[in-house]
Amino acid sequence: FPYVTAAEYYDGWTYQSGAMMQWFASSWTTGLIQDTLRRKASSLARPKDWAWRLPVEDYQLIQVPQPDDLAPYYDDWVEHETSDAYWKRWKISDHYPEMTVKALHAGGWHDIFLKGSIKNYVGIQKQAKDRKVREGQRLLVGPWAHAGTSVEGKIGDVTFGKQAVLDMTDTIRKFADWALKDVQNEYADDTPVRIFVLGENVWRDEKEFPLAREKRTPYYLRAGGELATGKPGAEKADEYTYDPANPSPTIGGRLCCGAAIPPGPADQSPNAGREDVVEFRTAPLTQGVEVTGEIKLELYASSSAVDTDFTAMLVDIDPEGYERLLTDGIVRARYRNSTEKAELITPGKVYKYEIDLWTTSNYFKPGHRIGLQVSSSNFPRFNRNLNTGETTAGATGMTKADQTIYHDAEHPSALVLPVIPR
Protein backbone atom coordinates (compact mmCIF):
# COMPACT_ATOMS: atom_id res chain seq x y z
CA PHE A 1 0.00 0.00 0.00
CA PRO A 2 2.33 2.81 -1.21
CA TYR A 3 0.52 5.86 0.16
CA VAL A 4 1.44 9.42 -0.94
CA THR A 5 5.00 8.55 -1.83
CA ALA A 6 7.55 9.04 -4.59
CA ALA A 7 8.86 7.16 -7.60
CA GLU A 8 12.33 8.60 -7.05
CA TYR A 9 13.96 10.97 -4.59
CA TYR A 10 15.20 13.63 -6.97
CA ASP A 11 12.35 14.68 -9.25
CA GLY A 12 9.09 14.95 -7.36
CA TRP A 13 10.63 14.65 -3.89
CA THR A 14 13.50 17.09 -3.40
CA TYR A 15 13.55 18.84 -6.78
CA GLN A 16 11.04 19.58 -9.51
CA SER A 17 12.31 20.32 -13.02
CA GLY A 18 15.63 21.43 -11.53
CA ALA A 19 14.20 23.72 -8.83
CA MET A 20 14.55 22.70 -5.20
CA MET A 21 11.29 21.97 -3.40
CA GLN A 22 12.56 24.14 -0.59
CA TRP A 23 9.58 24.23 1.73
CA PHE A 24 9.37 20.44 1.88
CA ALA A 25 13.12 19.90 2.18
CA SER A 26 13.61 22.51 4.89
CA SER A 27 10.42 22.11 6.94
CA TRP A 28 10.54 18.31 6.87
CA THR A 29 14.17 18.36 7.98
CA THR A 30 13.36 20.84 10.76
CA GLY A 31 10.66 18.47 11.99
CA LEU A 32 12.87 15.37 11.85
CA ILE A 33 15.85 17.07 13.41
CA GLN A 34 13.99 17.74 16.64
CA ASP A 35 13.54 14.03 17.28
CA THR A 36 17.12 13.34 16.18
CA LEU A 37 18.36 16.02 18.58
CA ARG A 38 16.45 14.45 21.48
CA ARG A 39 17.79 10.96 20.78
CA LYS A 40 21.38 12.09 20.25
CA ALA A 41 21.32 14.30 23.34
CA SER A 42 20.00 11.35 25.34
CA SER A 43 22.79 9.08 24.07
CA LEU A 44 25.42 11.69 25.00
CA ALA A 45 24.07 12.35 28.49
CA ARG A 46 26.45 11.44 31.36
CA PRO A 47 24.69 12.76 34.50
CA LYS A 48 26.64 10.42 36.83
CA ASP A 49 29.95 11.79 35.55
CA TRP A 50 28.72 15.38 35.40
CA ALA A 51 27.64 15.20 39.05
CA TRP A 52 31.32 15.41 40.14
CA ARG A 53 31.75 18.85 38.62
CA LEU A 54 32.31 21.78 40.99
CA PRO A 55 30.95 24.25 41.62
CA VAL A 56 27.50 22.70 41.47
CA GLU A 57 26.19 25.66 39.49
CA ASP A 58 28.45 24.51 36.63
CA TYR A 59 26.71 21.13 36.34
CA GLN A 60 26.50 20.24 32.66
CA LEU A 61 22.80 20.06 31.90
CA ILE A 62 23.17 18.67 28.40
CA GLN A 63 25.75 17.89 25.75
CA VAL A 64 24.36 19.39 22.56
CA PRO A 65 25.22 17.48 19.38
CA GLN A 66 26.91 19.35 16.57
CA PRO A 67 24.38 20.62 13.99
CA ASP A 68 26.22 18.86 11.16
CA ASP A 69 25.60 15.53 12.91
CA LEU A 70 21.84 15.97 13.00
CA ALA A 71 20.87 16.17 9.33
CA PRO A 72 23.85 15.55 7.04
CA TYR A 73 21.43 14.46 4.32
CA TYR A 74 20.13 18.03 3.96
CA ASP A 75 23.58 19.21 2.87
CA ASP A 76 23.69 16.32 0.40
CA TRP A 77 20.32 17.32 -1.07
CA VAL A 78 21.43 20.90 -1.63
CA GLU A 79 24.83 19.98 -3.05
CA HIS A 80 23.43 17.39 -5.48
CA GLU A 81 21.12 19.67 -7.45
CA THR A 82 21.40 17.63 -10.64
CA SER A 83 20.00 14.16 -11.21
CA ASP A 84 23.31 12.41 -10.64
CA ALA A 85 24.51 9.07 -9.25
CA TYR A 86 23.68 10.16 -5.70
CA TRP A 87 19.96 10.12 -6.52
CA LYS A 88 19.91 7.17 -8.90
CA ARG A 89 20.69 4.80 -6.03
CA TRP A 90 17.09 5.22 -4.90
CA LYS A 91 15.29 5.53 -8.22
CA ILE A 92 12.38 3.16 -7.78
CA SER A 93 11.18 3.74 -11.33
CA ASP A 94 14.28 1.95 -12.67
CA HIS A 95 13.02 -1.28 -11.08
CA TYR A 96 9.42 -1.54 -12.24
CA PRO A 97 10.12 -4.72 -14.29
CA GLU A 98 11.31 -6.42 -11.10
CA MET A 99 8.16 -5.73 -9.07
CA THR A 100 6.39 -8.90 -7.94
CA VAL A 101 3.46 -7.78 -5.79
CA LYS A 102 0.01 -6.33 -6.29
CA ALA A 103 -0.28 -2.77 -4.99
CA LEU A 104 -2.83 -0.08 -4.22
CA HIS A 105 -1.20 3.25 -5.07
CA ALA A 106 -2.97 6.02 -3.16
CA GLY A 107 -2.37 9.73 -3.66
CA GLY A 108 -4.03 13.11 -3.49
CA TRP A 109 -4.53 15.80 -6.13
CA HIS A 110 -3.01 18.31 -3.69
CA ASP A 111 -0.25 16.02 -2.39
CA ILE A 112 3.37 16.99 -2.88
CA PHE A 113 4.21 13.44 -4.04
CA LEU A 114 1.31 12.97 -6.46
CA LYS A 115 3.63 12.55 -9.44
CA GLY A 116 5.25 9.53 -7.82
CA SER A 117 1.95 7.86 -6.92
CA ILE A 118 0.72 8.01 -10.50
CA LYS A 119 4.09 7.18 -12.05
CA ASN A 120 4.43 4.07 -9.88
CA TYR A 121 0.97 2.83 -10.85
CA VAL A 122 1.45 3.42 -14.58
CA GLY A 123 5.03 2.16 -14.60
CA ILE A 124 4.44 -1.14 -12.81
CA GLN A 125 1.23 -1.78 -14.75
CA LYS A 126 3.12 -1.43 -18.02
CA GLN A 127 6.57 -2.80 -17.18
CA ALA A 128 6.25 -5.58 -14.61
CA LYS A 129 7.33 -8.89 -16.16
CA ASP A 130 4.56 -10.90 -14.48
CA ARG A 131 1.10 -10.44 -16.05
CA LYS A 132 -0.64 -11.00 -12.71
CA VAL A 133 1.47 -8.25 -11.16
CA ARG A 134 0.62 -5.87 -14.00
CA GLU A 135 -3.08 -6.64 -13.64
CA GLY A 136 -2.84 -6.38 -9.85
CA GLN A 137 -2.08 -2.64 -9.73
CA ARG A 138 -4.76 -0.25 -8.46
CA LEU A 139 -4.80 3.56 -8.28
CA LEU A 140 -6.76 5.71 -5.83
CA VAL A 141 -6.54 9.52 -6.01
CA GLY A 142 -8.59 11.71 -3.70
CA PRO A 143 -8.79 15.47 -3.16
CA TRP A 144 -6.32 15.23 -0.31
CA ALA A 145 -3.06 17.00 0.45
CA HIS A 146 -0.20 15.04 2.06
CA ALA A 147 -2.08 14.70 5.33
CA GLY A 148 -5.64 13.52 5.83
CA THR A 149 -8.79 15.60 5.73
CA SER A 150 -11.04 16.88 8.47
CA VAL A 151 -14.22 14.94 9.21
CA GLU A 152 -16.03 17.42 6.95
CA GLY A 153 -13.64 16.71 4.08
CA LYS A 154 -11.92 20.09 4.21
CA ILE A 155 -8.57 20.55 2.49
CA GLY A 156 -7.09 24.02 2.34
CA ASP A 157 -9.89 26.51 1.76
CA VAL A 158 -12.31 24.00 0.31
CA THR A 159 -14.76 21.63 1.96
CA PHE A 160 -15.23 18.74 -0.46
CA GLY A 161 -17.83 17.01 1.69
CA LYS A 162 -17.89 13.88 3.78
CA GLN A 163 -17.73 11.76 0.62
CA ALA A 164 -14.10 12.91 0.32
CA VAL A 165 -13.23 11.18 3.60
CA LEU A 166 -12.30 7.51 3.27
CA ASP A 167 -11.74 5.00 6.04
CA MET A 168 -8.19 4.11 5.04
CA THR A 169 -8.03 1.15 7.42
CA ASP A 170 -11.09 -0.35 5.77
CA THR A 171 -9.72 0.53 2.33
CA ILE A 172 -6.47 -1.31 3.05
CA ARG A 173 -8.34 -4.29 4.52
CA LYS A 174 -10.53 -4.69 1.43
CA PHE A 175 -7.56 -4.43 -0.89
CA ALA A 176 -5.63 -7.01 1.15
CA ASP A 177 -8.66 -9.33 1.14
CA TRP A 178 -8.64 -9.26 -2.65
CA ALA A 179 -4.86 -9.27 -3.18
CA LEU A 180 -4.03 -11.94 -0.58
CA LYS A 181 -7.23 -13.96 -0.12
CA ASP A 182 -8.84 -13.60 -3.57
CA VAL A 183 -12.00 -12.15 -2.04
CA GLN A 184 -14.19 -10.93 -4.90
CA ASN A 185 -14.90 -7.35 -3.80
CA GLU A 186 -14.70 -4.00 -5.62
CA TYR A 187 -10.97 -4.48 -6.27
CA ALA A 188 -11.71 -7.55 -8.39
CA ASP A 189 -13.61 -5.68 -11.11
CA ASP A 190 -12.28 -4.23 -14.36
CA THR A 191 -11.96 -0.62 -13.14
CA PRO A 192 -8.57 -0.46 -11.43
CA VAL A 193 -8.63 3.34 -11.10
CA ARG A 194 -10.73 5.44 -8.74
CA ILE A 195 -10.44 9.23 -8.87
CA PHE A 196 -12.16 12.14 -7.17
CA VAL A 197 -13.32 14.74 -9.70
CA LEU A 198 -12.80 18.19 -8.20
CA GLY A 199 -15.44 20.79 -8.94
CA GLU A 200 -18.17 18.15 -9.00
CA ASN A 201 -16.72 16.55 -5.86
CA VAL A 202 -17.65 13.00 -6.84
CA TRP A 203 -15.77 9.70 -7.06
CA ARG A 204 -15.52 7.93 -10.41
CA ASP A 205 -14.13 4.57 -11.45
CA GLU A 206 -12.05 4.27 -14.61
CA LYS A 207 -10.53 1.47 -16.66
CA GLU A 208 -7.16 3.19 -17.09
CA PHE A 209 -5.06 6.24 -16.34
CA PRO A 210 -4.37 8.48 -18.16
CA LEU A 211 -7.86 8.24 -19.63
CA ALA A 212 -7.92 6.88 -23.17
CA ARG A 213 -10.73 9.27 -24.13
CA GLU A 214 -8.85 12.46 -23.25
CA LYS A 215 -8.49 15.10 -25.97
CA ARG A 216 -5.24 17.04 -25.71
CA THR A 217 -6.49 20.57 -26.27
CA PRO A 218 -4.24 23.65 -26.53
CA TYR A 219 -5.52 26.83 -24.93
CA TYR A 220 -3.38 29.60 -26.41
CA LEU A 221 -2.06 32.56 -24.46
CA ARG A 222 -3.37 35.69 -26.14
CA ALA A 223 -2.99 39.44 -25.87
CA GLY A 224 -4.94 41.17 -23.13
CA GLY A 225 -4.74 38.20 -20.79
CA GLU A 226 -7.00 36.01 -22.91
CA LEU A 227 -6.81 32.20 -22.90
CA ALA A 228 -8.51 30.71 -25.96
CA THR A 229 -8.52 27.73 -28.31
CA GLY A 230 -7.96 30.00 -31.32
CA LYS A 231 -4.35 30.41 -32.45
CA PRO A 232 -2.68 33.82 -32.03
CA GLY A 233 -1.65 36.10 -34.87
CA ALA A 234 0.56 39.16 -34.60
CA GLU A 235 0.36 40.01 -30.92
CA LYS A 236 2.42 42.08 -28.51
CA ALA A 237 4.37 40.15 -25.89
CA ASP A 238 3.88 40.51 -22.14
CA GLU A 239 6.73 41.76 -19.97
CA TYR A 240 7.48 41.81 -16.27
CA THR A 241 10.46 42.06 -13.94
CA TYR A 242 11.27 39.24 -11.55
CA ASP A 243 13.06 40.37 -8.39
CA PRO A 244 14.25 37.45 -6.21
CA ALA A 245 14.28 39.85 -3.24
CA ASN A 246 10.50 40.17 -3.66
CA PRO A 247 9.28 36.80 -4.96
CA SER A 248 5.70 35.82 -5.62
CA PRO A 249 4.66 34.09 -2.38
CA THR A 250 3.35 30.57 -2.02
CA ILE A 251 -0.35 30.45 -1.14
CA GLY A 252 -1.38 26.84 -0.52
CA GLY A 253 -0.74 24.10 -3.02
CA ARG A 254 1.27 20.89 -2.85
CA LEU A 255 3.09 21.44 0.40
CA CYS A 256 4.60 19.52 3.28
CA CYS A 257 5.23 19.84 6.17
CA GLY A 258 3.80 21.72 9.16
CA ALA A 259 1.06 24.30 9.52
CA ALA A 260 3.11 27.46 8.90
CA ILE A 261 1.96 27.45 5.26
CA PRO A 262 -1.26 25.41 4.99
CA PRO A 263 -1.39 23.00 2.03
CA GLY A 264 -4.22 22.42 -0.39
CA PRO A 265 -6.44 24.55 -2.61
CA ALA A 266 -6.29 28.27 -1.84
CA ASP A 267 -7.32 31.54 -3.46
CA GLN A 268 -4.62 32.80 -5.83
CA SER A 269 -6.28 36.14 -6.58
CA PRO A 270 -3.93 38.06 -4.22
CA ASN A 271 -1.00 37.06 -6.45
CA ALA A 272 -2.90 37.84 -9.65
CA GLY A 273 -2.55 41.55 -8.91
CA ARG A 274 1.24 41.46 -8.61
CA GLU A 275 3.31 43.16 -11.29
CA ASP A 276 5.43 40.03 -11.71
CA VAL A 277 2.45 37.74 -12.38
CA VAL A 278 0.80 37.56 -15.81
CA GLU A 279 -2.66 36.01 -15.80
CA PHE A 280 -4.58 34.55 -18.73
CA ARG A 281 -8.28 33.64 -18.56
CA THR A 282 -10.90 32.12 -20.77
CA ALA A 283 -14.22 33.87 -21.18
CA PRO A 284 -16.88 32.58 -18.76
CA LEU A 285 -17.66 29.04 -19.89
CA THR A 286 -21.03 28.51 -21.52
CA GLN A 287 -20.64 24.76 -21.02
CA GLY A 288 -18.74 22.88 -18.35
CA VAL A 289 -15.27 21.54 -19.16
CA GLU A 290 -13.69 18.52 -17.50
CA VAL A 291 -9.90 18.39 -17.35
CA THR A 292 -8.44 15.08 -16.15
CA GLY A 293 -4.84 14.10 -16.78
CA GLU A 294 -1.40 15.61 -17.32
CA ILE A 295 -1.16 19.40 -17.71
CA LYS A 296 1.60 21.04 -19.76
CA LEU A 297 2.47 24.63 -20.57
CA GLU A 298 4.42 25.25 -23.77
CA LEU A 299 5.93 28.66 -23.09
CA TYR A 300 8.00 30.86 -25.38
CA ALA A 301 9.99 33.28 -23.26
CA SER A 302 13.19 35.28 -23.00
CA SER A 303 15.07 36.76 -20.06
CA SER A 304 17.72 39.39 -19.44
CA ALA A 305 19.45 36.92 -17.10
CA VAL A 306 21.73 33.96 -17.78
CA ASP A 307 19.43 31.78 -15.70
CA THR A 308 15.94 32.21 -14.27
CA ASP A 309 12.72 30.36 -13.50
CA PHE A 310 9.28 30.33 -15.07
CA THR A 311 6.32 29.14 -13.03
CA ALA A 312 2.74 28.28 -13.94
CA MET A 313 -0.49 27.77 -11.99
CA LEU A 314 -3.78 26.38 -13.24
CA VAL A 315 -6.73 27.92 -11.40
CA ASP A 316 -10.52 27.55 -11.46
CA ILE A 317 -11.99 31.07 -11.33
CA ASP A 318 -15.56 31.27 -10.07
CA PRO A 319 -18.00 34.11 -10.90
CA GLU A 320 -17.08 35.90 -7.64
CA GLY A 321 -13.40 36.01 -8.59
CA TYR A 322 -12.14 33.28 -6.24
CA GLU A 323 -9.18 31.59 -7.96
CA ARG A 324 -8.93 28.02 -6.67
CA LEU A 325 -5.49 26.52 -7.19
CA LEU A 326 -5.59 23.17 -8.96
CA THR A 327 -1.98 22.42 -9.86
CA ASP A 328 1.32 24.17 -10.49
CA GLY A 329 4.71 23.73 -12.10
CA ILE A 330 8.11 25.28 -12.63
CA VAL A 331 11.09 25.10 -14.96
CA ARG A 332 14.60 26.20 -14.08
CA ALA A 333 16.04 27.61 -17.29
CA ARG A 334 19.47 26.04 -16.93
CA TYR A 335 17.81 22.60 -16.65
CA ARG A 336 15.35 23.14 -19.50
CA ASN A 337 16.87 20.31 -21.57
CA SER A 338 18.01 17.94 -18.85
CA THR A 339 18.26 17.88 -15.06
CA GLU A 340 21.54 16.00 -15.42
CA LYS A 341 23.47 18.96 -16.83
CA ALA A 342 23.15 22.73 -16.45
CA GLU A 343 23.06 24.87 -19.61
CA LEU A 344 22.83 28.62 -19.08
CA ILE A 345 20.68 30.68 -21.42
CA THR A 346 21.64 33.59 -23.66
CA PRO A 347 20.09 36.85 -22.42
CA GLY A 348 17.44 38.12 -24.83
CA LYS A 349 17.14 34.86 -26.76
CA VAL A 350 13.69 33.28 -27.10
CA TYR A 351 13.47 29.71 -25.81
CA LYS A 352 10.62 27.25 -25.83
CA TYR A 353 10.09 25.89 -22.33
CA GLU A 354 7.85 23.02 -21.31
CA ILE A 355 6.45 23.37 -17.81
CA ASP A 356 5.09 20.19 -16.25
CA LEU A 357 2.10 21.04 -14.06
CA TRP A 358 1.68 17.39 -13.12
CA THR A 359 -1.86 16.04 -13.01
CA THR A 360 -5.33 16.96 -11.82
CA SER A 361 -9.01 16.17 -12.33
CA ASN A 362 -11.39 19.12 -12.25
CA TYR A 363 -14.77 20.04 -13.68
CA PHE A 364 -14.92 23.73 -14.58
CA LYS A 365 -18.58 24.60 -14.17
CA PRO A 366 -20.55 26.82 -16.56
CA GLY A 367 -19.91 30.45 -15.67
CA HIS A 368 -16.42 29.66 -14.36
CA ARG A 369 -13.19 30.53 -16.17
CA ILE A 370 -10.08 28.46 -16.80
CA GLY A 371 -7.18 30.55 -15.51
CA LEU A 372 -3.40 30.43 -15.87
CA GLN A 373 -0.91 32.44 -13.84
CA VAL A 374 2.63 32.78 -15.22
CA SER A 375 5.46 34.16 -13.08
CA SER A 376 9.04 33.37 -12.09
CA SER A 377 8.67 32.35 -8.46
CA ASN A 378 6.53 30.40 -6.03
CA PHE A 379 8.45 30.87 -2.82
CA PRO A 380 9.10 29.09 -0.50
CA ARG A 381 7.49 26.09 -2.22
CA PHE A 382 10.46 26.32 -4.58
CA ASN A 383 13.76 27.99 -3.82
CA ARG A 384 14.29 31.34 -5.49
CA ASN A 385 16.32 31.51 -8.65
CA LEU A 386 18.76 34.35 -8.00
CA ASN A 387 19.21 34.87 -11.77
CA THR A 388 23.01 34.65 -11.60
CA GLY A 389 23.56 31.11 -12.88
CA GLU A 390 25.22 30.01 -9.64
CA THR A 391 24.40 26.68 -8.05
CA THR A 392 21.91 26.58 -5.20
CA ALA A 393 24.20 25.56 -2.35
CA GLY A 394 26.21 28.71 -1.62
CA ALA A 395 24.70 31.43 -3.77
CA THR A 396 23.73 34.70 -2.06
CA GLY A 397 24.13 37.36 -4.74
CA MET A 398 21.04 38.18 -6.77
CA THR A 399 19.94 40.30 -9.69
CA LYS A 400 16.61 41.26 -11.22
CA ALA A 401 15.51 39.64 -14.48
CA ASP A 402 13.40 41.29 -17.17
CA GLN A 403 11.13 38.57 -18.54
CA THR A 404 9.20 38.51 -21.82
CA ILE A 405 6.35 36.07 -22.54
CA TYR A 406 5.64 35.61 -26.26
CA HIS A 407 2.30 34.55 -27.73
CA ASP A 408 2.12 35.14 -31.47
CA ALA A 409 2.01 33.10 -34.66
CA GLU A 410 5.73 32.34 -34.49
CA HIS A 411 5.68 31.69 -30.74
CA PRO A 412 2.29 30.07 -29.95
CA SER A 413 2.54 29.65 -26.18
CA ALA A 414 -0.19 27.24 -25.09
CA LEU A 415 -1.62 25.56 -22.02
CA VAL A 416 -2.28 21.97 -23.12
CA LEU A 417 -5.21 20.47 -21.24
CA PRO A 418 -6.53 16.88 -21.25
CA VAL A 419 -10.20 17.63 -21.93
CA ILE A 420 -12.62 14.78 -21.25
CA PRO A 421 -15.61 14.71 -23.63
CA ARG A 422 -19.04 14.68 -21.99
Does 410 fall in a domain? yes
- pLDDT, position 313: 98
Top-confidence residue, 41 or 386: 386
Domain stops at, among 164, 181, 206: 206
Q: Grade residue 366 by pLDDT with cuts at 50, 70 and 90.
A: very high
- The lowest-confidence range among 41-50, 134-143, 200-209, 314-323 is 41-50
* Bond from prior residue into 380 cis (ω within 30 degrees of 0): yes
Cα separations in angstroms, 285 against 37, 216, 218:
54, 18, 16
DSSP 11: B
Residue 110, amino acid = H
Domain count, the chain: 3
Task: Clarify whether residues 229 and 350 are in a common domain.
Answer: yes
Does 4 fall in a domain? no
Task: Clarify whether residues 74 and 108 are in a common domain.
Answer: no
Cα–Cα distance for residue pair 141/158, rounded to 1 Å: 17
- pLDDT, position 44: 83
Q: Grade residue 258 by pLDDT with cuts at 50, 70 and 90.
A: confident
Q: How far apart are the first and last CA of the chain?
A: 33
Task: Clarify whether residues 104 and 126 are in a common domain.
Answer: yes
Task: Clarify whether residues 149 and 187 are in a common domain.
Answer: yes
Distance of CA 98 to the CA centre of its chain: 27
Distance of CA 214 to the CA centre of its chain: 22
Does 289 fall in a domain? yes
- Residue 331: which of 314, 310, 316, 359 has the closest Cα? 310
The tens digit of pLDDT for each residue in 88-103 reads 999 999 999 999 999 9
Instruction: Sort 303 into a burial class: Cβ within 10 Å, 0-12 / 13-18 / 19+.
Output: buried
Q: Grade residue 148 by pLDDT with cuts at 50, 70 and 90.
A: low
Predicted structure pTM score: 0.93
Does 21 fall in a domain? no
Bridge partners (DSSP) of residue 280 are 372
- pLDDT, position 417: 99
Phi, then psi, of 287 in degrees rounded to 5? -130, 150
The tens digit of pLDDT for each residue in 264-286 reads 999 999 999 999 999 999 999 99
Cα–Cα distance for residue pair 79/76, rounded to 1 Å: 5
- Residue 310: which of 406, 378, 382, 376 has the closest Cα? 376
Return the CATH number at 194: 3.40.50.1820
- pLDDT, position 341: 96
- pLDDT, position 62: 81
- Residue 375: which of 297, 295, 318, 320 has the closest Cα? 297
Task: Clarify whether residues 299 and 243 are in a common domain.
Answer: yes
Instruction: Decide if 7 contacts 245 (C-beta within 8 A).
Output: no
Instruction: Decide if 315 contacts 323 (C-beta within 8 A).
Output: yes
Task: Clarify whether residues 349 and 283 are in a common domain.
Answer: yes
Task: Clarify whether residues 200 and 66 are in a common domain.
Answer: no
Cα separations in angstroms, 113 against 60, 287, 303:
43, 32, 30
What is the overall mean pLDDT for the chain?
95
Task: Clarify whether residues 252 and 136 are in a common domain.
Answer: no
Task: Clarify whether residues 93 and 202 are in a common domain.
Answer: yes
- Residue 96: which of 124, 69, 70 has the closest Cα? 124
Does 399 fall in a domain? yes
Task: Clarify whether residues 328 and 384 are in a common domain.
Answer: yes
Please state the rounded mean pLDDT for residues 291-304: 99
Please state the rounded mean pLDDT for residues 59-75: 84
Task: Clarify whether residues 37 and 119 are in a common domain.
Answer: no
- pLDDT, position 243: 99
DSSP 228: E
Is residue 80's pLDDT more than 90? yes
Cα–Cα distance for residue pair 256/22, rounded to 1 Å: 10
Q: Grade residue 149 by pLDDT with cuts at 50, 70 and 90.
A: low
Cα–Cα distance for residue pair 82/89, rounded to 1 Å: 14
Q: Grade residue 70 by pLDDT with cuts at 50, 70 and 90.
A: confident
Cα–Cα distance for residue pair 99/134, rounded to 1 Å: 9
- The lowest-confidence range among 21-25, 47-51, 130-134 is 47-51
- pLDDT, position 291: 99
Domain stops at, among 186, 206, 226: 206
Domain stops at, among 138, 173, 206: 206
DSSP 205: E
Does 126 fall in a domain? yes
Return the CATH number at 280: 2.60.120.260
Q: Which of the given ranges, 41-50, 56-65, 180-189, has the highest pLDDT on average?
A: 180-189
The parent domain of residue 163 ranges over: 85-206
Largest interatomic CA distance in the chain: 85
Task: Clarify whether residues 371 and 259 are in a common domain.
Answer: yes
Cα–Cα distance for residue pair 278/225, rounded to 1 Å: 7
Q: What percent of the chain has pLDDT over 70?
A: 99
Instruction: Decide if 289 contacts 419 (C-beta within 8 A).
Output: yes
Does 69 fall in a domain? yes
Three-class SS of residue 356?
Answer: strand
Does 280 fall in a domain? yes
